[in-house]
């Protein structure tokens, strides 16, 4: 039933929805960080950049591309959302310790410091949030897991819309 409904959705409407959704996700991340004190890890920042890319691409496509090119922009947005789903799924794998913690999430090399002051300065610069720690969860799923689910859904939505408008 919902798939038949996709045939009636215009590219402009879908791009508007994707823009608003991306801005909404980024706004929610901003509120969590600045009003509730959640500190994002490096993987969270990568996931936010993907939503910045989708928001910018969908807004650019909505405002500047002619209708015949918007189809290809939606296909591209599907790829970007799929990349976001893979990134978020990797983050979930890190959180569950299914894969090793990447080097950019935790620095364990202390050999480069020649003094206690240099080590102290580096430790003060290093964020306290590690990628393998879940800072918030709902129904047993972290924000990264919800991001993976939603990004995969949006990728499939974009591609299914494209199939219906071929």
Return the CATH number at 99: 1.20.1550.10
pLDDT score recorded for residue 11: 75
Distances (CA, A) of 110 to 21, 107, 143: 42, 8, 31
Cα–Cα distance between 37 and 34 in angstroms, integer?
6
pLDDT score recorded for residue 40: 82
Per DSSP, the three-state class of 142 is: strand
What length does the chain have?
166
The pair of three-digit structure tokens given for residue 92, joined into one six-digit string: 């979930």
pLDDT score recorded for residue 4: 64
CB 122 within 8 A of CB 113: yes
Counted domains in the chain: 1
Instruction: Say what the pTM is.
Output: 0.79
CA 6 to chain centre: 24
Residue 58 structural domain: 2-146+153-164
Contacts of 9 (CB under 8 A, 6+ apart): 161
pLDDT score recorded for residue 1: 40
pLDDT in tens, 19-44: 999 999 999 989 988 888 888 888 88
Low-confidence ranges of the chain (pLDDT < 50): 1
Cα–Cα distance between 86 and 151 in angstroms, integer?
9
Residue 85 dihedral angles phi and psi, to the nearest 5°: -65, -40
């Amino acid at each position: 039933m919902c798939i038949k409904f996709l045939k009636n959705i215009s590219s402009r409407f879908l791009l508007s929805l994707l823009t608003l959704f991306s801005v909404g996700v980024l706004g929610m991340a901003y509120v969590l960080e600045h009003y509730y004190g959640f500190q994002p890890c490096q993987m969270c920042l990568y996931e936010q950049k993907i939503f910045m890319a989708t928001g910018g691409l969908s807004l650019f496509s909505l405002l500047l591309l002619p209708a015949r090119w918007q189809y290809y922009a939606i296909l591209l947005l599907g790829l970007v959302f799929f990349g976001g789903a893979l990134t978020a799924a990797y983050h979930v794998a890190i959180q569950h310790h299914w894969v090793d913690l990447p080097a950019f999430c935790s620095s364990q090399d202390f050999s480069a410091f020649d003094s206690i002051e240099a080590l102290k300065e580096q430790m003060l610069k290093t964020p306290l949030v590690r990628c393998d720690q879940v800072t918030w969860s709902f129904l047993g799923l972290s924000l990264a897991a919800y991001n993976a689910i939603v990004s995969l859904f949006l990728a499939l939505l974009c591609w299914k819309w494209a199939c219906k408008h071929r």
